[in-house]
Amino acid sequence: MPKSLTEYLREVGEEEVTLTINGEEHKCSKTEAVARKMFLLAQGGTETITTSEGEATVVHKADPRVAKMLREFTEGRAAVEVVPEGDKKHKAGRYDSSVSKRLNERLGMKPSRPVIPKLKNE
């Protein structure tokens, strides 16, 4: 029986990698390495990467979208909001947890939505 993508992702996530954190080598799973990268992108900061051409320092700006995603992961999947009947202001099926909403309000962040460019009819 063929495996699902989720099963493959779990297997690959368990593979071991070595990270250097504050000058010390740290063995961890690929899943932990991805989690550490997500926190770096959410908070912003610098990291030193090693390439075939040598070492390079990369500066990351804090990304509120990644921070929001981390909050939602750690809180559990947010429930779908129920739209009151006749309320045209709210969109059906919008995902957002109440804790995430309060944090967004406190931080003055609005949920970002992708901007889809309009095509000109020629």
Q: Are residues 83 and 55 in the same domain?
A: no
pLDDT, tens digit, 9 for 90 and up, residues 33-92: 999 999 999 999 888 888 888 888 889 999 988 888 888 888 775 444 555 566 666 555
Model confidence pTM above 0.75? no
Q: Tell me: do 54 and 77 sit in the same domain.
A: no
pLDDT tens-place string over residues 2-11: 788 889 999 9
Instruction: Count Cβ atoms below 10 Å from residue 120 Cβ, excluding itself.
Output: 5
Examine the domain organization and report whether 51 and 70 are in the same domain: no
- How confident is the model over 94-107, as pLDDT tens digits? 555 555 566 566 66
- Do 54 and 9 fall into the same domain? yes
Pair (73, 55) in one structural domain = no
Give CA 4 to chain center in angstroms: 23
Residue 116 within any structural domain of the chain:
no
Instruction: Bin 102: left if φ > 0, else alpha if -120 < ψ < 50, else beta.
Output: alpha
Burial of 104 (0-12, 13-18, 19+ CB in 10 A): middle
Integer Cα distance of 104 and 64 in angstroms: 9
Q: List, in order, residues 6 or more apart from 83 with CB less than 8 Å away.
A: 90, 91, 92
